[in-house]
Structure 1
Amino acid sequence: MFKLFGNKRLFVLLIGIVLFIALMGITLGQRNSLTWPEKFARDSIGFVQGIFYRPASAIAGFFEDIGNMRSIYEENERLKIAVAKLTRDQIQTHNYVETNARLQNELKFTQTQKAKNNYDYRVAQVNSVSNDSKTLVIDIGEKDGAKVGQEVSSLEGFVGVISRTGNFTSTVTLLTTLDPKNPNSYAIAATVLGKENQSFGMIESYDPGTNRFQMTRIEEKDPIAKGDQIITSGAGGKFRKNLMIGTVEKIQVGEFGKTRTAIIKPAASFVDWKELLILYTPEVPE
């Protein structure tokens, strides 16, 4: 026994084993608190981790934000394109609805007129309008059967006459050019709708200041009245009958006091041209 304590190496080894066993016991035992070396080690590790974690987290968040911004930008671009397409589709749909309604009205109009008069109609598109708004160009020419002198109408009423033709286009001179002082201007023989055998007059001029026609040479006994609808009579053979011209707005004494003059509000607006109707006389088979 004294020899064992006399050997320093064995004594130190024995003490080390005892301490190691004691430390193992303390470590493996159930404890509710940490020792100060453990606390120091843990706090040191946490501090170092915090130093490196915060910048790394900030950098990661920065790149994540850039990615999110790019996604938002791409999404905004897609939404802008979708809105633009939606707007375009709404406009196209609106135009389709308007065109469909207009063509349906034209079909109804032509069928009614064909039942009343032996006319053929062809729909023409307006290509251009002259600067003085006295003539316009349509997309139907000689290749389609257009001829000088053919009447042209809108859905509302008589608007003019073809004055010049090309192979694929024609020029229409509007009724707003009527002028008794112009040798190339032809007066229109007119009558009252429903009073064709009792009423007669000549539409010779148009007043651009009031946008009204003047129907002259009306006899005193003529039953024409305010509100009557004026149509072509077909007299003289220059213009076919039953083309709508306008409505009587007022009646006044004529130039020499022996006849009367009617102020006619045109049925056609002579603005905002869309489709027009060219009147054809059907060919009689031989």
Structure 2
Amino acid sequence: MLILFKLLGNKRLFFLLMALILFIGVMGFTVGPRVGLSWPEKFVKDTVGFVQNIFYKPAGYIAGFFEDISNLRDLEEENEQLKIALAHYTRDKAKYNYTNAQIKKLEDGLRFTQEQKARSKDDDYRIAHVLSVSNDPTNRTLVIDLGSKNGVKPDMAVTTDKGLVGTVSKVSNFTATVRLSTTLDSKDPTSNAIAATVQGKEDKSFGMVESYDQDSGYFVMTKIKTDDPLKEGDTVISSGLGGQFPKFIPIGTVKSRQKGEFGMTDTAYIEPATTFADWDIVFVVITPEAPE
């Protein structure tokens, strides 16, 4: 008993002993069978929940912020990849369209040469690519990638699958200069007129395409007899007379016909069959008179 009183005299040990007894009592109370939580458990849980709410929410916000930054970086990388893929698609599509257009032109050119070969077995229509264009209104010319090494000679006719383009004026080993038929001028002694006729009326119609009217954009066909059956809408082609231009090259369509200057013959205005623009592929007509 003396020892107990001495211990009780020590306040620290007394409070420790009381806390231990209280803790044992609380443990016994909470461990026993019950329906709900005891008030000490509720207090502890609420305290822990409050502390967790204080610390966990800001931590969650910070973690979410960095996660959003990471997601934005991923989206940015995906966006860059999509841009690159779109650029490749656009480039490949342009190449595909260009290749298809070239194939179509070559197919049309092959069909045209075969048709011309069936009409005249002596003439050889050779494909040439246009290298450059001179838009000088007084001397419009083309430079093509065929020359003397390919059998090309001056004054040979040049055409497209639509119609007459002009004639070869100068030739080098691997290139040639083509003078366009839009430079035709009856007053120019170096300008060669084209003997022409009407398709389907080759034995009944005849005239000379001597010049090109710059104002109207039409060829002028002269020396047409008054009883010639040529009329509006007819297709004018080269007749082959004179030897310079082979037969059957389309020149254009008759837009109008009128009396000539002296009333002895008629004059017709011919809309060109070709557009004289966007040059790419032309054909040089290799004739028997100028063999390779």
TM-score of the pair, normalised by structure 1: 0.87
Residues 5 and 99 from structure 1, CA distance in 2 versus in 1: closer, same or farther, beyond 3 angstroms?
Answer: same
Do the aligned partners of 2:246 and 2:287 also contact (CA within 8 Å) in 1? no
TM-fit CA distance, 1:143: 3.0
What is the Cα-based RMSD across aligned positions, in Å?
2.8
Tell me the secondary structure at the aligned position of residue 191 of structure 1: strand
Match of 1:35 among 33, 39, 45: 39
Give the residue type in structure 2 aligned to 1:223.
Answer: P
Over 4 Å off, 4+ runs: 4-21, 282-285
Tell me the secondary structure at the aligned position of residue 198 of structure 1: coil
Segments of 5+ residues of structure 1 without an aligned counterpart are none
Q: Give, in whole Å, the separation in 1 of the partners of 2:42 and 2:101.
A: 83
Give the residue type in structure 2 aligned to 1:42.
Answer: K
The reply to whether residue 164 of structure 1 matches residue 167 of structure 2 is no
Match of 2:213 among 186, 207, 217: 207
Residues 17 and 235 from structure 1, CA distance in 2 versus in 1: closer, same or farther, beyond 3 angstroms?
Answer: closer
Do the aligned partners of 2:156 and 2:244 also contact (CA within 8 Å) in 1? no
The reply to whether residue 50 of structure 1 matches residue 53 of structure 2 is yes
Tell me the secondary structure at the aligned position of residue 161 of structure 1: strand
Residues 204 and 29 from structure 1, CA distance in 2 versus in 1: closer, same or farther, beyond 3 angstroms?
Answer: same
The reply to whether residue 129 of structure 1 matches residue 165 of structure 2 is no
Q: Give, in whole Å, the separation in 2 of the partners of 1:257 and 1:191.
A: 20
Match of 1:120 among 121, 124, 128: 124
TM-score of the pair, normalised by structure 2: 0.85
Do the aligned partners of 2:235 and 2:253 also contact (CA within 8 Å) in 1? yes
Residue in 2 aligned with 1:100? Answer: 103
Question: Which deviates more from structure 2 when the two are superposed, residues 147-156 or residues 13-22?
Answer: 13-22
Match of 1:66 among 61, 69, 74: 69
Tell me the secondary structure at the aligned position of residue 108 of structure 1: helix
**1:226-284 Cα shifts (integer Å, max 9, x gaps):** 22221112222222222111121111000111111111111111112121111113699
Residues 18 and 276 from structure 1, CA distance in 2 versus in 1: closer, same or farther, beyond 3 angstroms?
Answer: closer
Match of 1:154 among 132, 156, 160: 160
Match of 2:114 among 105, 111, 114: 111
Q: What pairs up with 1:151-230 in 2 under 5 angstroms?
A: 151-230=157-236
Q: Give, in whole Å, the separation in 2 of the partners of 1:76 and 1:149.
A: 60
**1:180-230 Cα shifts (integer Å, max 9, x gaps):** 111211111111222222221111110121110111011122222222221
Tell me the secondary structure at the aligned position of residue 60 of structure 1: helix
Tell me the secondary structure at the aligned position of residue 87 of structure 2: helix
Q: Give, in whole Å, the separation in 2 of the partners of 1:284 and 1:127.
A: 24
Q: Give, in whole Å, the separation in 2 of the partners of 1:110 and 1:193.
A: 18
Give the residue type in structure 2 aligned to 1:106.
Answer: G
Residue in 1 aligned with 2:146? Answer: 140
Identity of aligned residues (%): 52
Question: Which deviates more from structure 2 when the two are superposed, residues 262-271 or residues 229-238?
Answer: 229-238
Q: Give, in whole Å, the separation in 1 of the partners of 2:202 and 2:185.
A: 25
Residues 24 and 223 from structure 1, CA distance in 2 versus in 1: closer, same or farther, beyond 3 angstroms?
Answer: closer
Residues 219 and 14 from structure 1, CA distance in 2 versus in 1: closer, same or farther, beyond 3 angstroms?
Answer: closer
Q: Give, in whole Å, the separation in 1 of the partners of 2:236 and 2:131.
A: 29
Tell me the secondary structure at the aligned position of residue 76 of structure 1: helix
Residues 85 and 18 from structure 1, CA distance in 2 versus in 1: closer, same or farther, beyond 3 angstroms?
Answer: closer
Q: Give, in whole Å, the separation in 2 of the partners of 1:147 and 1:124.
A: 14
Q: Give, in whole Å, the separation in 2 of the partners of 1:140 and 1:40.
A: 101
The reply to whether residue 237 of structure 1 matches residue 215 of structure 2 is no
